[in-house]
A and B are shown apart, each in its own frame.
Chain A
C-alpha cells in the first residue's frame, strides 16, 4: 500500500513564549519539533507498511527549515520525503493549506491512504486533515485510536468518541487522522539516521504543483486573525490556613453571602 503522511513543524510546546508587544508566538530562538500527533501518524504508517508492504511518503508544507522534520521522519522509517515550500505559501490558513497539500499530493501519483495527526499543537484547528479529504472527495475518519485490520482494498479502524469508540470500515483511498493512543512512536534507528543524513529531500514550489496564486498563502486564506492575546487571569484567590475545622469555617464564611 502507498501511504502519504502529512507532518508539520511546530514550536516545542515546552518552550512557548508570546511576544509581549504583538501578542503573537515568538518563533525566534524557540526549538522546533515534529508535531507530536504527526509522529503517531508516521509511526502507524510505517507499521502498516512493515506489515502489509508498500511505501511511506512524508510531506510537509513549510519554510526551508521544515526539512529537519522530514529528515527526522526518514530516520523513523519513512521511505521518502517531500518539502512543499515557496514564499507564496506564507500566511496560509487551513483552507489554503488543504488546497496546497491537495495539489502537491496530486503530483505524487496514486495513493491508498493519507495519515495526519489529529491536529497541530500550535494552531489546534484539526481542520487540515478533513479539509484535504474533502478536496479529494474521499472518506475521512478523524481521531483514529486503532487500526483493526487491513484488507486488500479497505481498512477497519476504531474512531475515538467521548463515550467509547466506533468501528468504521472504509475503502481506499481514504484519509485518517490519529490520536496519541494509537501507538508509541519508535526511537529513530542508527541506519535510519544515517540514511536521513544523506537522503535527498524533494522540493516542490507553487509552480511545481500548478497552484493557482489566488488560492495559496495569504491571498487564498479566508481566515484573518484579528488579534491574538493571552486570556486575562480572572478571579480572586484565597488560601485557607489552620487545621481542617478552621479551614472549613473560613470557606463557609466566604460562601455564605452567595447562598
Chain B
C-alpha cells in the first residue's frame, strides 16, 4: 500500500532497508545464538545518521518526528527486533531529556546520542515495580550539591552497553506519584554499576541488565526537569515511544510473512506448491490482512503524535496492542505454514516467534495498555 511518504521519509526507509538486508539479516542467527550485542551494526546505523532521526537539528539530529522513527524501526525489525530494540532503547533513553530536560542538558547529551557516539538507556522497572510504577523503591536524596541514589533497576535494555542512563527515583515518598523525579546517570559515576547480562527467550542481541545504585553520587544539575515531575516525564516518554514498538512488530511480522510465503511457493506436496492449497492460502491471507491493518494503525498513530495533540495515550496504546498481538499471531502462523522446517533453527521463523513474545510484554504489557484504553473510554463517555 502507498502511504504517501515524503522524499525524506523514503530516504530513511531506503537506508534502513539496506542496513537490514546487508548488515542485519546475514548476522542475526549468530547474534541470537551467542547473545551478542550488535555493536558493529549499531555503529553502521550511527554512521548512516539514523540515531539522529528523532533529535532536533539544533542538537545535531535530523529533526524527524514519530513517523520517521517508526519507518526506520519497521525496517530494522524486519531483520531482527533484538537489534531494533537496542536501537530503539537508545531513543527511549533520551526522550526524557528531549521532553523535560533543560537546554543545557540537551546540549550536553543529545548531540552524542544523535551521532551514535554514545548509547542511552531508560531505567524505570524494578523488582517490585513493573506494571505498577508506584512500587518504585529507588530513592534520590539531595546531599549538598549532589543527589545520592540508592536502589536497583531491573531488566534495563542497553544496560552495560549504554553511556547515558535516564532513571526514575523517588525524591519524596509522601507525595505519591508526584514524589518521583528523573535523573541522568552516566556510566562511570561513582556508586553506579550494571548487573550481569540476563539470559532471555528472545531479542538476545539486545543487552538486558540490572542497574545498581549504591550511594551513587551525581551532580545536582543531573535532575531532568523539576523535582516531582518524574512520572509525567515517564508517561510522555512512553506515549511517544509505543508506536516504535508497534513498528518493530510490523517489521517482524513482515519478515515472517516474507519467509512463510516464499517457502509456501517452493514447498511441493501432493504434486503442488503448498501455496496452491486453500488451507495455506487462507493462513497467508489472514497474516497479510492483519499485518497491513497494524501498519496502517502504527503509521496513523505516529502521524497523530506528530501533530502534538493534548492526549495521545489511547492511540499510542492502541497501536502497540494491536501490532504486537498481530506479530505474535503472524510469527506463530509462519512457523505453522513452514511445518517442521519452521521449527528448526536453520530457518529464521522460530527466532521470530520467540522474539515476538517480548513485544506484548515490554514498554507496558498489553493488559496495561488495555487498561489505559479502557480508562480513556470511560472518561470520554462520561461526558
Q: Is A193 an interface residue (CB 8 A)?
A: yes
Q: CA–CA, A156 to B18, complex, Å? A: 33
Q: B213-249 CB contact bits vs A (8 Å, 1 = yes)?
A: 0000000000000000000000000000000000000
CB distance from A62 to the nearest CB of B (A): 23
CB distance from A207 to the nearest CB of B (A): 35
Q: A42-77 CB contact bits vs B (8 Å, 1 = yes)?
A: 000000000000000000000000000000000000
A-B complex: 4 closest residue pairs judged by Cβ atoms: A190-B49, A189-B49, A193-B11, A189-B48
CB pair B18 A190 closer than 8 Å: no
Contacts of B7 in A (CB 8 A): 197
Q: Is B211 an interface residue (CB 8 A)?
A: no
Which listed residue (B47, B52, B53, B62) contacts A187, Cβ 8 A?
B47
A-B contact pairs, 13 of them (CB 8 A): A187-B18, A188-B15, A188-B18, A188-B48, A189-B15, A189-B48, A190-B12, A190-B48, A190-B49, A191-B49, A193-B11, A193-B14, A197-B7
CB pair B48 A187 closer than 8 Å: yes
Interface size on B, residues (CB 8 A): 18
CB pair B47 A190 closer than 8 Å: no
CB pair B11 A187 closer than 8 Å: no
Q: Is A17 an interface residue (CB 8 A)?
A: no
Which listed residue (B8, B22, B47) contacts A189, Cβ 8 A?
B47
Q: Is A148 an interface residue (CB 8 A)?
A: no
Q: A166-191 CB contact bits vs B (8 Å, 1 = yes)?
A: 00000000000000000000111111
CB distance from A133 to the nearest CB of B (A): 31
Closest chain A residue, CB of each to CB of B44 = A187
Q: CA–CA, A197 to B11, complex, Å? A: 10
Contacts of B62 in A (CB 8 A): 190-191
Q: CA–CA, A162 to B252, complex, Å? A: 44
Q: CA–CA, A190 to B116, complex, Å? A: 13
CB distance from A187 to the nearest CB of B (A): 5
9 extra interface residue pairs, beta carbon distance < 8 Å, beyond A189-B49, A190-B53, A194-B11: A187-B22, A187-B48, A188-B15, A188-B18, A189-B15, A190-B11, A190-B49, A193-B11, A193-B15
CB pair B47 A186 closer than 8 Å: yes
Q: Is B168 an interface residue (CB 8 A)?
A: no
Q: CA–CA, A193 to B11, complex, Å? A: 7
Q: Is B349 an interface residue (CB 8 A)?
A: no
Q: B43-62 CB contact bits vs A (8 Å, 1 = yes)?
A: 01001111011000000001
Closest chain B residue, CB of each to CB of A190 = B49
CB pair B44 A190 closer than 8 Å: no
* Interface, chain B (partner A; CB < 8 A): 7-8, 11-12, 14-15, 18-19, 22-23, 44, 47-50, 52-53, 62
Q: CA–CA, A194 to B14, complex, Å? A: 12
Q: CA–CA, A172 to B8, complex, Å? A: 40
Contacts of A194 in B (CB 8 A): 8, 11
Contacts of A186 in B (CB 8 A): 44, 47-48
Q: CA–CA, A10 to B226, complex, Å? A: 59
Contacts of B12 in A (CB 8 A): 190
Chain A, range 73-126, C-beta contacts under 8 Å to B = none
CB distance from A239 to the nearest CB of B (A): 20
Closest chain B residue, CB of each to CB of A193 = B11
Q: CA–CA, A108 to B22, complex, Å? A: 35
Q: CA–CA, A135 to B48, complex, Å? A: 38
Q: CA–CA, A191 to B53, complex, Å? A: 10
Contacts of B14 in A (CB 8 A): 193
Max chain A C-beta neighbours (<10 A), residue from B8, B18, B48: B48
CB distance from B348 to the nearest CB of A (A): 21
Contacts of A192 in B (CB 8 A): 49
CB distance from A148 to the nearest CB of B (A): 22
CB distance from B218 to the nearest CB of A (A): 33
CB distance from B139 to the nearest CB of A (A): 41
Contacts of B15 in A (CB 8 A): 187-190, 193
CB distance from A42 to the nearest CB of B (A): 15
Q: CA–CA, A127 to B239, complex, Å? A: 59
Closest chain B residue, CB of each to CB of A186 = B47
Closest chain A residue, CB of each to CB of B52 = A190
CB distance from B55 to the nearest CB of A (A): 12
Chain A, range 190-219, C-beta contacts under 8 Å to B = 190-194, 197
Max chain A C-beta neighbours (<10 A), residue from B11, B52, B53: B11
CB distance from A40 to the nearest CB of B (A): 14
Contacts of B8 in A (CB 8 A): 194
Closest chain A residue, CB of each to CB of B68 = A190
Q: CA–CA, A192 to B47, complex, Å? A: 10
CB distance from A184 to the nearest CB of B (A): 9
Q: A153-167 CB contact bits vs B (8 Å, 1 = yes)?
A: 000000000000000
Contacts of A193 in B (CB 8 A): 11, 14-15
Q: CA–CA, A187 to B11, complex, Å? A: 12
Closest chain A residue, CB of each to CB of B19 = A187
Contacts of A187 in B (CB 8 A): 15, 18-19, 22-23, 44, 47-48
CB distance from B44 to the nearest CB of A (A): 6
Q: CA–CA, A194 to B22, complex, Å? A: 21
Q: CA–CA, A26 to B2, complex, Å? A: 31
Q: CA–CA, A187 to B62, complex, Å? A: 17
CB distance from A13 to the nearest CB of B (A): 16
CB distance from A47 to the nearest CB of B (A): 11
Q: CA–CA, A233 to B250, complex, Å? A: 47
Contacts of B44 in A (CB 8 A): 186-187
Closest chain A residue, CB of each to CB of B10 = A193
CB distance from B157 to the nearest CB of A (A): 24
CB distance from B267 to the nearest CB of A (A): 24
Q: CA–CA, A97 to B49, complex, Å? A: 37
Q: CA–CA, A189 to B61, complex, Å? A: 12
Contacts of B49 in A (CB 8 A): 189-192
Contacts of B48 in A (CB 8 A): 186-190
